[in-house]
Chains A and B, each alone.
Chain A
Amino acid sequence: MRKTRIAAVAAMAAVAALTLSACGGGGGAASDKIKIGIKFDQPGVGFKDGDTYKGFDVDVAKYVANELGFPADKIEFISTPSANRETALQNKQVDMIFASYSITDKRKESVAFAGPYLIAGQDLLVPVDSTIAGPEDLTGKTLCSVTGSTSAQKVKDLIPGVKLQEQSGYAECLGGMSGGTIDAVTTDDIILAGLAAQPANAGKFKVVGKPFSEEKYGVGLNKESTKCADINKAIEKMITSGDWEKAIKANTEGTGYVPNPALNPPKMDPCA
């Protein structure tokens, strides 16, 4: 009895040690690889599908990495959800971040940015037969966004008359819109287009196409990083070669999404 108990304690300690070391892993060894932070859960933008990664952010990341001398097999994609992006860069868990990461002055205090590689804007996704043509039609309507997101906050400030339902994810919002209780979903246009382009949603929703904010998607870098100029060059090359437009089209097919033509393709900000 006593021996089995000791064995059990030892086994538990071993499991705990393994779990802990698994967390710390990923450092060392793979120095010939570049670690890129993306979102894993935004279809059309950054999405993990089994063993492959898809989306516009992923396509730009692969192109830029290739230009920097890291072909596809030398890239390690790491999940960086919104709240973890600054920490991941500061602790050098990732080398670059392509994760619908808007360049803001506040963020510039803790990290550096290259790019922008896209100027997105907050827009509305509505059912195809909807009469909503812009934010001005939203008074009295039910709008859905994700709890704690920039988009949710902006809508509260901009359209006080709207009924905002905050859900834990955009998939839940789309479910409500199919059910008829939600009239529109709001966040950045490229994310909406990516959602609408999913096979399960094809033909059901449309992006209104009247962006009411400017989100400059940049490449997040550690402040000490020296890659900024090279990344900007790579993005410019992607734009002039036409691969940039191809990537947009491929990831938002069938939704009629066009990045705000007055601002896109974007001009690079000077590196700090």
Chain B
Amino acid sequence: MEKYLSLFTQYNIPAAFWVNIQLTFWAAIGALVVGTILALMRISPVRSFAVFGTSYVNIIRNTPLTIILLFGVLALYNQLGFTLSDDFNQNFFNLAVMGLAIYHAAFVCEAIRSGVNTVPVGQAEAARAIGLSFLPAAREVILPQAFRGAVVPLGNVLIALIKNSTVAAVSSVAIEASSIMKTMLEFESNLIIPIFATFAMGFVIIVIPVGLLTTWLSKKLAVAR
């Protein structure tokens, strides 16, 4: 027990989780923006936009996240010299955020599309009838209702994103939780099970409030029909 407690003074575990939360925060914003644009493209009457949106979702959704993140570091940075920051470590962080956002945007897009499906056709028809073209109709009528109907699936994507942020280890973000866990296992492998349990617990502590919040929000924001 003493040995286990000394792990907390030797390694800064909360700081490692904080890195994951930061990765999640920025990637979630990126994914929400890109995902909303993609959803708009997929429901738009312009065929080429719809085809692009569908292709993006199908290609990215079917590519393992590890490969997307490795591509960012091994191909873009190591081979092509592409950087997102002049600071050595910040660059890896930004590349990881980019990869996470690109990947989760596909899932956000589909979550929003499922939200759009909860909006009755009559709403869209009414919007067109009062003279709104596609974008204003989407902005003023469809999307606000769609987001309210998509709170639960969006929450699911966010929860997946929190846990997927540990994959940033492969894009050389070596200060996040799973990397610290790897270091701890290397030096304290006789405590393998307690260390593992600690990190599993950490994610439970982060994820459960998100789950509760989305459930509460989905009830509060539900469109009464």
The yes or no verdict on A and B being binding partners is: yes
Q: Which residues of A contact B (CB under 8 A)?
A: 82-87, 106-107, 109-110, 142, 147-150, 152-153, 163-168, 172, 175-176, 179-182
Q: Min CB distance, A105 to chain B, in Å?
A: 12
Interface residues of B in 79-116 (CB under 8 A from A): 79, 81, 88, 92
- Extra contacts besides A148-B184, A166-B179, A167-B170 (13): CB < 8 Å: A84-B192, A85-B189, A87-B189, A142-B88, A147-B172, A148-B182, A148-B185, A152-B174, A152-B183, A153-B183, A168-B70, A172-B74, A180-B81
Distance in Å from the Cβ of A242 to the closest Cβ of chain B?
Answer: 35
Knowing A147-B169, A147-B179, the reply to whether A182 touches B78 (Cβ < 8 A) is yes
A167–B184 Cα distance when bound, in Å, is 17
Q: Is A168 touching B169 in the complex (CB atoms < 8 A)?
A: yes
Shortest CB-to-CB span from A203 to chain B, Å, is 20
When the two chains form their complex, are residues B189 and A153 in contact, meaning their CB atoms are under 8 A apart?
no
In the complex, whether B187 has a CB less than 8 A from a CB of chain A is yes
Q: Mark B50-80, 1 if CB is under 8 A from A, else 0.
A: 0000000000000000000010011001110
CB distance from B73 to the nearest CB of A (A): 8
Scoring B residues 192 to 223 as 1 if CB is less than 8 Å from chain A, else 0, what string do you get? Answer: 10000000000000000000000000000000
> Interface residue tally of chain B, by bracket?
20 to 34
> B88, A147: Cβ atoms under 8 Å?
no
Tell me if B192 and A176 are in contact (CB < 8 A).
no
Complex: A182 Cα to B81 Cα, angstroms: 11
Query: Which chain A residues lie closer than 8 Å to B186 at the CB level?
Result: 82-83, 148-150, 153
With A82-B189, A168-B169: A163-B183 Cβ-Cβ less than 8 Å = no
Contacts of A85 in B (CB 8 A): 189
Does any Cβ of A come within 8 Å of B9's Cβ? Answer: no
**In-complex Cβ contact of B172 among A86, A107, A153, A166 (8 A):** A166
**A185 CB to nearest chain B CB (Å):** 12
Q: How far is the CB of A175 from chain B (nearest CB, A)?
A: 6
Closest chain B residue, CB of each to CB of A172: B74
Partner of B182, one of A109, A142, A147, A163: A147
Judging by beta carbons under 8 Å apart, are A181 and B77 in contact?
A: yes
* Contact A147/B174 with A85-B189, A87-B189 known, Cβ cut-off 8 Å: yes
Please determine whether B172 and A167 come into contact, CB atoms closer than 8 angstroms: yes
| Residue pair B187, A150 in contact (C-beta under 8 Å) | yes
Contact at B183–A148, with CB atoms within 8 Å? yes
Closest 8 pairs between A and B when the two form their complex, measured CB to CB: A148-B182, A166-B174, A176-B78, A148-B183, A83-B185, A179-B79, A110-B190, A179-B78
**What residues of B have a CB within 8 angstroms of the CB of A168 in the complex?**
70, 169-170
| B83, closest chain A residue (CB) | A181
A-B contacts, 22 listed (Cβ < 8 Å): A82-B189, A83-B182, A83-B185, A86-B189, A87-B192, A106-B190, A107-B189, A109-B190, A147-B174, A147-B179, A147-B183, A148-B174, A148-B183, A148-B186, A163-B88, A166-B174, A167-B170, A168-B169, A176-B78, A179-B78, A181-B78, A181-B79
Is B187 a contact of A106 with CB atoms below 8 Å? yes
Q: How far is the CB of B15 from chain A (nearest CB, A)?
A: 15
B78 partner residues in chain A, CB cutoff 8 A:
175-176, 179, 181-182
Tell whether, in the assembled complex, residue A86 and residue B192 are in contact, meaning their CB atoms are under 8 Å apart: yes
Known: A106-B187, A142-B88, A152-B174. A175 touches B179 (CB 8 A): no
- Say how far B79's CB is from chain A's closest CB, in angstroms: 4
For B175, the closest partner residue in chain A by CB is: A166
Complex CA–CA separation, A109 to B88 (angstroms)? 38
Cross-interface CB contact of B74 among A83, A110, A175, cutoff 8 Å: A175
Nearest CB in chain A to that of B87: its residue? A163
Q: Which residues of B contact A164 (CB under 8 A)?
A: 174
Q: Are B74 and A176 in contact (CB-based, < 8 A)?
A: yes
In the assembly, what is the distance between CA of A148 and CA of B185, in Å? 8
Q: In the complex the two chains form, what is the Cα distance from A163 to B81 in whole Å?
A: 16
Which of A107, A147, A176, A179 is most buried by chain B, counting CB atoms within 10 A of its CB?
A147
- Distance in Å: Cβ of B200 to nearest Cβ of chain A: 15
